[in-house]
């Protein structure tokens, strides 16, 4: 009798182990060559490609989005853990929610109205633009321009790093980054500039400490031309 019970238990356990996984679990998509399209309103695991872009439809959700040679384009109301690429820009629609960092090396980053990034937003060679959006971490770049547009907030501050490499600017005069803090924008954390920048701060903006630059105040809709 005991042997019969044992055999029955083992058979049941084996059947449970052999059962297919829940098909409703978010799936990963991993490619070497080719673009990825995340359908509107659908949930995914990790989305990764080497040579290709990634597009996320309205309301798509993903654990993380990574590309190497390609941009990331997201519609409205997307939810991500993080987004990164090496050679490509990153553009979010309205009301994006990103739990971690948004970063690229060669390309710009744009956040549209109502978006929130809980980590850092960073580029090396590319501009950063915020429109009525919030970055809870820091906004960082090396050579790119930064626009903290009307109604935006950067809690962790702004940093423009000094370019690495002794030959930078030896033969060509390096571009001076243009940093604009727009009307009703707020930068809570320190702004640290390790290289020359042109810093424009609207009269209705609120900023913290500034190191390495002198702020130029302006009143109109647009900052002065360089």
d(CA 87, CA 2): 65
Decide: helix, strand or coil at residue 59: coil
Say if CB 64 and CB 80 are below 8 A apart: yes
d(CA 8, CA 133): 60
Q: What is the pTM of this model?
A: 0.86
pLDDT tens digits, the chain, 226 residues: what are they? 344 333 333 334 443 344 344 456 689 999 999 999 999 999 999 999 999 999 999 999 999 999 999 999 999 999 999 999 999 999 999 999 999 999 999 999 999 999 999 999 999 999 999 999 999 999 999 999 999 999 999 999 999 999 986 545 555 678 899 999 999 999 999 999 999 999 999 999 999 999 999 999 999 888 888 7
Say if CB 148 and CB 185 are below 8 A apart: yes
Backbone φ, ψ for residue 36 (5° rounding): -125, 135
Question: How is the chain split into domains, by residue range?
Answer: 120-226
d(CA 135, CA 120): 7
Which CB contacts under 8 angstroms, 24+ apart, belong to 109-113? 111/135, 112/76
């Amino acid at each position: 009798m005991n042997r019969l019970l044992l055999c029955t238990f083992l058979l049941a356990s084996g059947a449970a182990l052999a059962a297919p996984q829940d098909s409703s679990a978010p799936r990963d998509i991993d490619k070497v060559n080719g673009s990825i399209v995340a359908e509107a309103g659908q949930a995914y695991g990790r989305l990764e490609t080497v040579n290709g872009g990634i597009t996320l439809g309205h309301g798509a959700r993903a654990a993380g989005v990574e590309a190497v040679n390609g941009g990331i384009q997201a519609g409205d109301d997307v939810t991500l853990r993080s987004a990164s690429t090496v050679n490509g820009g990153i553009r979010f629609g309205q009301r994006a929610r990103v739990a971690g960092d948004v970063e690229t090396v060669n390309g710009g980053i744009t956040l549209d109205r109502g978006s929130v990034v809980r980590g850092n937003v960073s580029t090396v060679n590319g501009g950063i633009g915020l429109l009525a959006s919030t970055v809870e971490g820091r906004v960082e770049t090396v050579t790119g321009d930064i626009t903290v547009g009307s109604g935006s907030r950067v809690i962790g501050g702004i940093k423009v790093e000094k370019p690495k490499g002794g030959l930078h600017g030896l033969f060509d005069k390096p571009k001076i980054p243009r940093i604009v803090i727009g009307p009703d924008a707020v930068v809570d954390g320190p702004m640290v500039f390790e290289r020359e920048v042109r810093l424009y701060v609207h009269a209705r903006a609120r900023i913290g400490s500034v190191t390495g630059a002198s702020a130029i105040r302006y009143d109109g809709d647009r900052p002065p031309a360089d």
